[in-house]
Chain A
């Protein structure tokens, strides 16, 4: 049973560029949440997708957008990258109605230079 997978593992981008990160949820899960973890900090909630729609959103600017596909996989897009966007981006999947069980992927380490 495959867990949550994310790609790529590492990514280096230049300030002002755009980036797309990908997440495949755990088998059977239909909800995907994205978190940003800056160095030395706890993860911060970006948004959550369910049934291909954004259902919840944290305090992040519109430069952060996402998408969920019919197979429940998800993408996180960040436009006009800033140095401050450098972080570990974590994807978590869960099953609608399940008792608060979120499974996290290994993350994508984004470095903006």
Chain B
């Protein structure tokens, strides 16, 4: 069975600090996908990134960066120079690969990030 663990329930940092959100996953599949979503107070899940299990390159997108390490089954998310608009709940999710291309997502319990002005 698949499982995603986000051990950090809540994090608060002062604006402009860097912050890392941790994600650890479990799966018996050799091919799978990892995701990060942002959920602002409005409730809608906003897609941030998708990574497949064969691509362990780190990725940077503006102030966001992701570190994928298969050896430790982790997919951590770092926000550099945080801003108040980054305040939200962040979810890590896992999906097994299939011919459908849209398998169900297994989510972690989320990390509530608060950026203090």
Contact = CB atoms under 8 A, between A and B. Distances in A.
B101 A97 contact: yes
A96 B109 contact: no
30 contacts: A31-B100, A33-B102, A35-B105, A40-B109, A42-B91, A42-B93, A42-B108, A42-B109, A42-B110, A45-B106, A48-B102, A56-B103, A58-B104, A95-B101, A96-B100, A96-B101, A96-B102, A97-B100, A100-B35, A100-B50, A100-B102, A100-B103, A101-B47, A101-B102, A103-B47, A104-B37, A104-B44, A104-B46, A106-B42, A109-B43
B36 interface: no
Closest 9 CB pairs of A and B: A42-B107, A104-B45, A45-B104, A94-B102, A106-B44, A97-B101, A107-B43, A42-B109, A100-B33
A106 B43 contact: yes
B59 to A, nearest CB: 15
Q: How large is the interface on B (under 10, 10 to 19, 20 to 34, 35 or more residues)?
A: 20 to 34
Contacts of A42: 4, 91, 93, 107-110
A41 B35 CA distance: 17
Contacts, number: 75
Interface in A69-113: 88, 90, 92, 94-107, 109
Contacts of B106: 45
Q: How large is the interface on A (under 10, 10 to 19, 20 to 34, 35 or more residues)?
A: 20 to 34
